[in-house]
Structure formats: C-alpha cells, structure tokens
Amino acid sequence: MGKSFNDKNNLSRVKIIVSVLVVLGLAVAFFLGTRESEITLENNSLEIGGLYGITIQTDSIEEVTLREEIPTVRNKINALSMFSLKKGTFRMDEFERARLFLHSANGPYIQITTDEEIIFINYKNSEKTRTIYNEIKD
C-alpha cells in the first residue's frame, strides 16, 4: 500500500511539472509573438525580425507601396493571429499566400512585392509605419 501511495505522489509531481512547463512555454511564445517586428536594412538585405521573421535580399524586391487598406485575410496557413495581431503566412482574397507582420487592423500598410512573395507590414503607430516605408523605399 505504501508503494502505491508513492507512485500516485510521483505521478502527481510529474503532472504538475509538465503543466508548469507547458504554461511557461505558452507564456514565452505569447511574449515573443506579440513583440513588434523589428526591421533592419543592411548588407543588401531587409530583415524582419521576431517570430516568423524573414530576410529578403533587396535585389529580389520588385515593388514597395504604402496602402491604406489590404485585401481581406481569409485564413492562416502557418501563423499567429490574435485580435489585430497577425504574423506568419495567410491566405487573402487577392493572394493565395501572403506573409503578414500586422500589429494593427488599421492602415497604413507597407506592401513589399518580391519575385517570390507578397509581404504586408504595419505597426500600431501609423507614423512608425510611414517612417519604415520611407526607409525601405529609399
């Protein structure tokens, strides 16, 4: 009888440890996912940092535009979507696949068209979005 009590005790400890690890993992993922995407321009590349971040060679960029609206987002392919935050690859009305780094549901939005994909970026602060657009455009 003493042995079964210890087995139950050990099983309870394992369940608690696993639960704590899962909660910590989710907290870290939430923290990393909700951070603003940092944009870095250097060495002929544009790097979008953070969760789902990418590096784009500047010679593959065909067009950079500033849009007040974007096509409707249909569903996630490989992405994080919470409220107005959308990061990752999505299906949109006009595009089968587009990579989004959206921190606000309101414009403006930077659209980067490369020879391989469409990317949309925006920030909660519309002035920051415009500033980043001007840096990329130049």
Structure confidence at residue 13 (pLDDT):
87
pLDDT digits (tens, 9 = 90+) for 39-77: 999 989 999 998 899 999 999 999 999 999 999 999 999
Place of tokens 């990579």: 99
Query: Domain map of the chain by residue range?
Result: 1-34, 37-137
Buried b (16+ CB within 10 A) or exposed e, 21-59: eeeeeeeeeeeebeeebebeeeeeebebeebbeeebeee
Q: Are the C-beta atoms of residues 50 and 87 closer than 8 Å to each other?
A: yes
Residue from 48, 67, 49, 66 nearest 58 by CA: 48
Residue 58 DSSP label? G
Q: Kindly provide the residue ranges of all beta strands, DSSP E only, lying in the chain, ordered along the sequence.
A: 39-42, 45-48, 54-57, 61-67, 73-82, 85-92, 98-102, 109-114, 118-122
Residue 113 has pLDDT above 80, yes or no: yes
pLDDT digits (tens, 9 = 90+) for 23-32: 888 777 766 6
Please give the model's pTM, rounded to 2 decimal places: 0.82
